[in-house]
Homo-oligomer: A and B are copies of this chain.
Amino acid sequence: MSAPTSFLHNVLNPHSVAIIGASENTQKFGGRVMNFILQHGFKGRILPVNPAAGSILGIPAYASIEDAPGPIDVALIAVPGMQLEAAVEACGKARITACVVLAADFAEAGLDGANRQANLVRIALQHGVRLIGPNCLGFINPALRLALTSSVALAVAPMPIGNIGLVSQSGSLMAALISHAQDLGTGFSIAASVGNQADLEICDFIEYFLTDPATHAICVYVEGLKDGPRFLQLAARCRAAGKPLLVVKAGFSEAGARITRSHTASLAGSDAAWTAACHEHAVVLLDDPEALIQCADFLIRFGAPAGDGVAAMSPSGGTVAITADRLAASGLRLADLSENTQRELHQIVPATRPVNPLDVGGLARDVGLTSARDCYRLLADDPDTGVVLIVVATTPQLDAKVRLWAELAVARGKPTVILLTPGALVDSARGILRELHCPFTNRMDDALRVVKAAINYGAALRLLPTTASIPDNFGEVAAYCAPASALTESETKQLLSLAGITVTRDLQVHAAANAVAAARALGYPVVLKLSSRTLTHKSEVGGVALDLRTDDAVAMAWQRIATRLTAVEPASVLECVIQPMITGGIELIVGSRWDQQFGALVLVGAGGIWAETLRDTQCALAPLSSQRALELVRKLRIFPVLAGARGQAGADLDALIDTIVRVSWLAATLGARLAELDINPLLVKPPGQGVVALDARATLYPRS
């Protein structure tokens, strides 16, 4: 399905464009498109197609596409659904390489629509035509003054030219971003909407942007990927090429996922998988579309910050206090300014003022600009400053100060986020920043998003690639053969043992008497657990008895579990396992999931009774190096407990890391067969004492 780059280059940078269903009536798609294409002044050939022929808005029109003189690089089809197939076929005969299809009511509208879409793609392929859409709003190429879209965003001229390549599954969202780019003084190499991605898809555009010299950063709004592995390969190429790739992904919530299905027939995929994949490949994952433009513009202008220290300043004391609070609440780190920087700053501002964030208000007017300049320089040049945040509030000589700060930032290339807190009152400062092509934001939320995204991007770029190598004593897990896909606890533990993971010594028992004998063999205290292929959440059905210390206790527990089983599954015959009762350690969950888009994922988190409640979990693509596994563990909120906070023993991190790596290889080796695996709890004992899988379950499909 991958389109060669040169091919898409011709489509997005056409010499000639046909509008099929062209019209003069701006109430119609074909009318809006004709209007915009003329209004913005496209210099290539424009070929309106309309059965009535004649001319449209002064341009000679053709009754059919076959009548129009070739070669034609791209056609936009603005005819109703029932005429679409014929139009695509005609484009093929006219040797047009690609068509933009605006019409909706395809795969997003249910099964019939999906069939219509499949049929349209089949016809297009038969006739050698590639499709953008359907259910899209076309694209713009501002440098060529080409507005090949029906979006009302193009009612405002001129189109914003710049170095952002945008591809969006939503046309309306593309329109909002075009409007914001105009307001912020930035713009696009190409902004394209791809709707249902029936043929050409987001990855084709990312691939084009990778090779396009005018594109310096790539922004994506995606509801679902057609090809996850291809996306990851392209992300790695973007990273290598130094082109930031920024993504807003919709559908992480349950309600959101329902909507992506009904909007562009996209399957949303999991939040955890996306977060893990993006982190691994330095993709900037954002929650807000406008932030795409703000962050891309910032990274194009300043590149990635060298460190995570933030130095902030404002001429308003109240704003400085709020900035300090908001930075702290966002988890950002204030730069720890050197003594030298502090001393020099205190020659400009009163010694009673803290230096970071810095209140630069109320200084003598006659040295106002000098002070503003010197304060910026001192903050920006401190070795611990990765990003400068300037929070502009009303102050004497505001415009002059903003100009000075922006010029310094741009000249020095120091990552500097400028936030303008007043409204239209300071629009003249906004004009100055647009003119200087210096990025700015208007809300603290946005400023913090940009600071955070830039710092995280820098950190991700500095993450050295690691090589995950298969652990010692990693057995033939691929050969493990389970009698059914829902593995019992014992079967799962056999699989874990093959992978070199320590499990409890479990004895399978079929009667109360066996259980007592087994308990004596293991030595008290013991645990008695229901063994079932169907009831995998054993605690929920009362199938677990902990800390049994006598024969009687074992026999009574057997009876209790038997009664519970009869209540839940009257036909089942009770089987149990007996295990030694092991305490003294911290309970984690370590597991894996197969993700449809990105493949094997490994996860680690707080386990036992805390697993569901705290949702303190980290994920990564499998397999993992030890170094990446440690990074995951360090990101857990409960890490201080593992590390031994406040005089506690802490946990055997080496053994934990080894287990995570082994689980990751299990997941990577078994691939799609291993739908999910949970070791919960994995008891992590104090340093030097290892780990042990107390309970585990898995879903493993047979080899096909």
1/0 per residue A510-528: CB within 8 Å of B?
0000000000000000000
Q: A316-B173, A394-B175 are in contact. Are A613 and B183 (CB under 8 A)?
A: no
Which residue of B is nearest A543, CB measured?
Answer: B647
1/0 per residue A634-651: CB within 8 Å of B?
000111110001111000
State A182–B423 Cα separation when bound (angstroms): 8
Q: A352-B110, A394-B175, A423-B179 are in contact. Are A321 and B250 (CB under 8 A)?
A: yes
Residues of B near A359 (CB, < 8 A) are 259, 262-263
Q: A259-B354, A334-B255, A394-B175 are in contact. Are A322 and B646 (CB under 8 A)?
A: no
Interface residues of A in 226-262 (CB under 8 A from B): 248, 250-256, 258-260, 262
Q: Does A344 sit at the interface, judged by CB under 8 A?
A: no
Of B169, B319, B350, the residue contacting A172 (CB under 8 A) is B319
Of B251, B253, B613, the residue contacting A329 (CB under 8 A) is B253
Q: Does A27 sit at the interface, judged by CB under 8 A?
A: yes
- Among A152, A156, A250, max chain B CB count under 10 A is at A250
This protein's copies in its complex: 2
Interface residues of A in 674-703 (CB under 8 A from B): none
Shortest CB–CB separation between residue A361 and chain B, in angstroms?
A: 7
Chain A interface SS verdict (over half): helix
Residues of B near A262 (CB, < 8 A) are 317, 350, 352-354, 359
Tell me whether A325 and B252 are in contact (CB under 8 A).
yes
State A614–B443 Cα separation when bound (angstroms): 30
Tell me whether B256 and A322 are in contact (CB under 8 A).
yes
Which residue of B is nearest A173, CB measured?
Answer: B318
Count class of interface residues, chain A: 35 or more
Q: Looking at the complex, which of A86-94, A285-293, A588-596 is the stretch in contact with chain B?
A: A285-293
Q: Looking at the complex, which of A35-43, A64-72, A534-542 is the stretch in contact with chain B?
A: A534-542
Tell me whether A646 and B537 are in contact (CB under 8 A).
yes
Residues of B near A180 (CB, < 8 A) are 422-423
Which residue of B is nearest A222, CB measured?
Answer: B318
State A122–B459 Cα separation when bound (angstroms): 56
Of B176, B612, B641, B647, the residue contacting A610 (CB under 8 A) is B641
- Among A175, A255, A614, A645, max chain B CB count under 10 A is at A255
Of B256, B320, B350, the residue contacting A259 (CB under 8 A) is B320
Shortest CB–CB separation between residue A137 and chain B, in angstroms?
A: 9
Interface residues of A in 144-183 (CB under 8 A from B): 151-153, 155-156, 168-170, 172-173, 175-176, 178-180, 182-183
Q: Does A385 sit at the interface, judged by CB under 8 A?
A: no
Shortest CB–CB separation between residue A659 and chain B, in angstroms?
A: 21
Tell me whether B609 and A393 are in contact (CB under 8 A).
no
Q: Does A477 sit at the interface, judged by CB under 8 A?
A: no
Of B395, B423, B443, B647, the residue contacting A539 (CB under 8 A) is B647
Q: List 20 A-B contacts (CB under 8 A).
A: A110-B352, A153-B425, A155-B425, A172-B316, A172-B394, A175-B425, A176-B393, A176-B423, A180-B422, A183-B424, A252-B325, A252-B329, A253-B328, A255-B328, A256-B328, A537-B646, A537-B647, A610-B641, A613-B641, A614-B638
Given A172-B315, A176-B393, list of 15 further CB < 8 A pairs? A27-B396, A152-B425, A153-B425, A170-B318, A175-B425, A182-B425, A184-B423, A248-B322, A251-B321, A254-B328, A262-B353, A262-B354, A263-B359, A288-B444, A289-B322
